[in-house]
């Protein structure tokens, strides 16, 4: 298991310098952990975890894409996963509902527990798992069906509604939670693909929450959206965190600062640092984290 440093401990002696102003905030001092140290810095564990990951490794054939990642995701928290392109953050969240099972040659080792149940147990059925741990992708992907059927499809195949009245209630509740009901309630039979990009993404979020997940994974959900649509999604994330645990991959450090309580920084397959979002952006302890948030690379 990767060694975890406590909040008041440093990995090595280093001088403390003046802070560096960045768009994400102000770094109060130079990071104290060397770039050469790839052990995770910060508190990986939370008091009440919904998801617990220990010694997670991901291989694509001979390529070791994720190395010994330890991380908890708490109940009703938003955790942002940041890092340069190709660092492994999307690969990691795809482990959390076994989406990597669909990738030929991909192999995952280690322990990932959802409410203390090993999701990689051979007896685990991935269909209900992917209802419990939903995924919202980078590009909106509504089904080529009506707005109503986009939301109703999941509850119907999972047997969550006994009749049409219950199904209607689930659809309306899900669309309300996604902040979309007032915009589509009079055109429920129109195709979901006819909505704007931002509306399509909120429809996909409604589709995800309609099956009653515990965790929602979001892989750069705003990267294809304009600023107004992005703001609506960010407001929605804050509201949804009252009921769900959310892990969001984002290339926008400003977005991570706005929506998350905790942030995890990945670099070339390693989880470098994890901590409260304010601390990561204003007082990072690892030099690689500081390099990234101050724009030295990434």
Q: Reply yes or no on whether the pLDDT at 254 is more than 50.
A: yes
pTM of the model as a whole: 0.86
CB atoms within 10 A of CB 172: 16
Strand pairing category for 78-82 and 262-267: parallel
Q: Which residues of 258-295 are buried (b: 16+ CB within 10 A; e: fewer)?
A: bbbbbbbbbbebbbbbbbbbebbbbbbbbbbbbbbbbe
Q: Please answer whether residues 191 and 145 qualify as being in contact, where contact means their C-beta atoms are separated by less than 8 angstroms.
A: yes
Residue 148 is predicted with a pLDDT of 98
Question: For residue 149, what is the enclosing H or E element?
Answer: helix 147-157
Spatial distance between the Cα atoms of 148 and 54, rounded to a whole number of angstroms: 40
pLDDT tens digit string along 165-192? 999 999 999 999 999 999 999 999 999 9
On the 0-12 / 13-18 / 19+ scale of CB atoms within 10 A, 252 is middle
Spatial distance between the Cα atoms of 135 and 40, rounded to a whole number of angstroms: 26
Spatial distance between the Cα atoms of 204 and 236, rounded to a whole number of angstroms: 13
- Cα 2 to chain center, whole Å? 21
Structure tokens at 291: 């390099």
**How many residues are listed for the chain in this entry?**
298
Structure tokens at 78: 């938003």
Residue 37 is predicted with a pLDDT of 78
On the 0-12 / 13-18 / 19+ scale of CB atoms within 10 A, 136 is buried
Of the pLDDT bands very low, low, confident and very high (cuts 50, 70, 90), residue 22 is very low
Residue 29 is predicted with a pLDDT of 53
Spatial distance between the Cα atoms of 68 and 1, rounded to a whole number of angstroms: 7
Q: Which residues is 169 bridged to in the sheet?
A: none
Residue 195 is predicted with a pLDDT of 97
pLDDT tens digit string along 73-117? 999 999 999 999 999 999 999 999 999 999 999 999 999 999 999
């Amino acid at each position: 298991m990767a060694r975890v440093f406590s909040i008041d401990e440093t990995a090595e002696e280093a001088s403390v310098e003046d802070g560096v102003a960045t768009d994400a905030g102000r770094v109060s001092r130079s990071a104290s952990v060397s770039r050469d140290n790839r052990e995770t810095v910060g508190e990986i564990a939370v008091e009440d975890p919904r998801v617990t990951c220990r010694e997670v490794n991901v291989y694509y054939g001979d390529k070791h894409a994720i190395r010994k990642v330890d991380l908890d995701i708490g109940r009703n928290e938003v955790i942002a996963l940041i890092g340069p392109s190709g660092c492994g953050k999307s690969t990691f969240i795809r482990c959390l509902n076994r989406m990597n099972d669909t990738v030929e040659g991909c192999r995952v080792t280690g322990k990932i527990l959802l409410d203390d149940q090993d999701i990689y147990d051979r007896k685990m059925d991935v269909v209900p798992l992917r209802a419990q741990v939903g995924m919202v992708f980078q590009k909106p992907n509504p089904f080529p069906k009506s707005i109503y059927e986009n939301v109703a499809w999941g509850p119907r195949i999972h047997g969550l509604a006994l009749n049409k009245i219950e199904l209607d209630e689930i659809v309306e509740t899900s669309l309300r939670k996604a902040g979309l009901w007032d915009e589509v309630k009079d055109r429920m039979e129109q195709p979901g693909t006819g909505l704007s990009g931002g509306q399509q993404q909120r429809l996909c979020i409604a589709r995800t929450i309609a099956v009653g997940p515990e965790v929602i994974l979001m892989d750069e959900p705003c990267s294809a959206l304009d600023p107004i649509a992005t703001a609506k999604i960010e407001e929605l994330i804050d509201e949804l965190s009252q009921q769900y645990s959310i892990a969001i991959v984002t290339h926008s450090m400003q977005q991570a600062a706005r929506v998350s309580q905790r942030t995890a920084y990945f670099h070339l397959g390693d989880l470098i640092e994890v901590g409260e979002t304010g601390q990561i952006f204003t007082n990072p302890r690892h030099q690689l984290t500081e390099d990234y948030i101050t724009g030295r690379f990434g």
